[in-house]
């Protein structure tokens, strides 16, 4: 697992321009042995609370005769999918194409649909858990506008019942849990496998990169302006961001030159972004602000993986395509705050038409249960303005695209051989309001079965409460 993590990190560093990790190593050779303090500042454990998740046991399973959307945009009518050893072992149009073990569980998928596990690129499950009482408000460290030192995983309460609802009703198998948007730099997000666990480490997606949550616009300036401190304006937002990036650039230079004398949690996260090993997830509603953020990213040599809540992304589909930055959007929610005033239901459709990356996200413990429904609404609204998008493409907005947005697209997000056995069997087309998950597998283990009431997670909090183990 560790190895995979390092490989992914290196791969990302190579892809990104302006990253100096390799060059720095060469320079180090010529230097004399660094001091203990310098070593500590440089060679710290990058993953001090590592994932302890191990796939649960599963049986080889083949689904025959279902309509299969593979997550990459392909559709197989009367297709077959084989899960084996926790992985997707094969997918195709007929059984003859697959090497099915004799003892495999065989499921008749006639009239049913199969998709990769649904992925939510924007969730606060665990850091704003149910019940939503003040004592559970752990998503926004609103004591400083830049808190890249806080990590969402240290807030996640694994007993949030929302995780089980996301699986049972939404087919969600992986999610990015982010800090909130009260701060310009809200902290690190963590990718989780949607598996019940006693500890957050037991949910952490092995080898997934970290993300830095950033936020544009109204929230940070309102939160800090009302405290009588910077930022209180949008220009203040940028000033604080740029000053912080300047510090991070300086920190990283010193680090690469072996001149650091102490660790700095804030700077370690930001240097990780500049190295390309930590992805940027930027909450940003307005098109004009997104365009400024893209320039800020260029100024400091990082990349914005995804704009979240980009209700105005449709105004700059061309710029977003060029930047290869995804937009994680709702289908048709908007208008609730000034910067959401120009939200339109055709946002996703217009982005798709522009060739930009579309992700449907939730940011909500209820919405995460209905991501395919949101995508279907966007599909319908696109069709009414002449943009026809095939079901299989729309499914990509919930699977491979969010996997890419959060940095796990090599591991999950599509039903390609060798990828994680994260899969959902639906009782009808998932883009219909009348369909629900029938079975959900995570790494090949069957963790939800609508016809087996004991194959339904019940959190500690729900034990002994009214409706314990109910259908929900």
* 389 sits near other proteins (criterion: CB under 8 A): no
443 three-class SS: coil
Residues 258 and 31 sit within 8 Å (Cβ to Cβ)? yes
Here's the x/- map for other proteins, 296-325, by CB under 8 A: it reads as ------------------xxxxx-------
* Residue 41 vs 425, nearer CB to other proteins: 425
Question: Exposure of 269 by Cβ count < 10 A (0-12 exposed, 13-18 middle, 19+ buried)?
Answer: buried
Q: Is 362 in the site for other proteins (CB under 8 A)?
A: no
**Minimum distance between the CB of residue 74 and other proteins, rounded to whole angstroms?**
21
What does the chain come to in residues? Answer: 472
Please report how close the Cβ of residue 462 comes to other proteins at its closest, in angstroms: 7
Residue 436 is a binding residue for other proteins (CB under 8 A) = yes
- Give yes or no for residue 336 binding other proteins (CB under 8 A): yes
The residue behind tokens 């963590």 is 190
Determine if residue 271 is left, alpha or beta; phi over 0 gives left, psi from -120 to 50 gives alpha, anything else beta. Answer: alpha
Distances (CA, A) of 353 to 304, 323, 347, 356, 460: 21, 16, 10, 8, 45
Q: Which residue has the tokens 């098109």?
A: 287
Nearest to 312 by CA among 357, 351, 362: 351
Among 80, 435, 441, 447, binds other proteins (CB under 8 A): 435
Is residue 461 a contact point for other proteins (CB under 8 A)? yes
What backbone phi and psi angles, to 5 degrees, belong to 359?
A: -130, 130
The answer to whether residue 390 forms part of the interface with other proteins (CB under 8 A) is no
Using CB under 8 A, which residues numbered 225 to 284 contact other proteins?
A: none
Q: Shortest distance, CB of residue 235 to other proteins, whole angstroms?
A: 21
* Contact call for residue 410 and other proteins (CB under 8 A): no
Size of the site for other proteins (CB under 8 A): 60
Nearer to other proteins, 143 or 366 (CB): 366
- Rank residues 59 and 384 by Cβ distance to other proteins and give the closer one: 384
Options 18, 383, 417, 463; binder of other proteins; rule CB under 8 A: 383
Closest CA to 177 of 199, 203, 198: 203
Which residues pair with residue 69 across a beta bridge?
A: 75
Output the smallest distance, CB 423 to other proteins, in A: 19
Q: Which stretch binds other proteins (CB under 8 A): 83-91, 297-305, 370-378, 400-408?
A: 370-378
Report yes or no: 401 and 352 within 8 Å, Cβ to Cβ: no
CB 173 within 8 A of CB 442: yes
Chosen residue from 121, 431, 440, 442 binding other proteins by CB under 8 A: 431
Q: Which stretch binds other proteins (CB under 8 A): 60-68, 148-156, 199-207, 426-434?
A: 426-434
What is the C-alpha separation between 307 and 321, in angstroms, rounded? Answer: 12
The string of DSSP letters for 23-44 reads HHHHHHHTSPPPPHHHHHHHS-
Is 432 near other proteins (CB under 8 A)?
yes
Contact between 177 and other proteins by CB under 8 A: the answer reads no
Under rule CB under 8 A, which residues in 60-119 are in contact with other proteins?
none
Q: Does 370 contact other proteins by CB under 8 A?
A: yes
CB 170 within 8 A of CB 435: no
């Amino acid at each position: 697992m560790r190895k995979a993590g390092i490989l992914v990190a290196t791969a990302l560093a190579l892809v990104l321009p302006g990253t100096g990790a390799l060059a720095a190593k060469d320079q180090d050779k010529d230097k004399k042995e660094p001091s203990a303090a310098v070593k500590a500042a440089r060679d710290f454990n990058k993953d001090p609370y590592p994932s302890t998740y191990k796939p649960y046991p599963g049986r080889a399973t083949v689904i025959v005769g279902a309509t299969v959307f593979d997550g990459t945009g392909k559709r197989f009518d009367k297709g077959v999918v084989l899960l084996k050893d926790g992985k997707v072992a094969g997918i195709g149009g007929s059984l003859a194409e697959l090497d099915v073990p004799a003892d495999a569980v065989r499921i008749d998928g006639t009239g049913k649909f199969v998709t990769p596990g649904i992925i939510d690129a924007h969730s606060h499950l665990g850091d704003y858990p149910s019940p939503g009482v003040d004592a559970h408000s752990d998503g926004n460290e609103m004591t400083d506008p830049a808190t890249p030192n806080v990590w969402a995983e240290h807030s996640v309460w694994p007993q949030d019942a929302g995780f089980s609802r996301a699986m049972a009703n939404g087919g969600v198998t992986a999610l990015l849990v982010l800090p909130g948007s009260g701060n310009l730099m809200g902290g690190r997000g963590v990718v989780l496998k949607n598996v019940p666990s006693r500890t957050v480490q037991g949910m952490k997606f092995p080898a997934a990169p970290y993300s830095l949550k950033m936020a544009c616009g109204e929230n940070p300036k309102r939160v800090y302006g009302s405290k009588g401190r910077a930022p209180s304006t949008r220009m203040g937002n940028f000033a604080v961001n740029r000053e912080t990036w300047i510090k991070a650039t300086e920190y990283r230079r010193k680090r690469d030159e072996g001149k650091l004398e102490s660790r700095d949690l804030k700077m370690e996260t930001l240097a990780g972004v500049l190295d390309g090993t930590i992805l940027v997830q930027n909450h940003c509603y307005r098109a004009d602000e997104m365009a400024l953020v893209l320039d800020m990213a260029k100024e400091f040599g990082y990349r914005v993986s995804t704009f979240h809540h980009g209700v105005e992304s449709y105004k700059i589909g061309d710029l977003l395509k060029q930047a290869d930055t995804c937009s994680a959007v709702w289908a048709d929610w908007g208008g609730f705050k000034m910067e959401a005033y120009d939200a339109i239901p055709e946002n996703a459709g217009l982005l798709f038409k522009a060739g930009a990356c579309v992700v449907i996200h939730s940011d909500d413990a209820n919405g995460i249960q209905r991501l395919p429904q949101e995508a279907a609404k966007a599909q319908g609204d696109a069709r009414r303005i002449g943009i026809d998008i095939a079901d299989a493409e729309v499914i990509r907005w919930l699977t491979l695209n969010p996997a890419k947005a959060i940095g796990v697209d090599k591991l999950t997000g599509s039903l390609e051989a060798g990828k994680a056995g994260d899969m959902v069997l639906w009782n009808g087309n998932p883009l219909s309001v009348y369909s629900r998950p029938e079975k959900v597998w995570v790494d090949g283990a069957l963790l939800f079965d609508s016809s087996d009431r004991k194959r339904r997670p019940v959190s500690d909090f729900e034990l002994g409460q009214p409706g314990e183990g109910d259908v929900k």
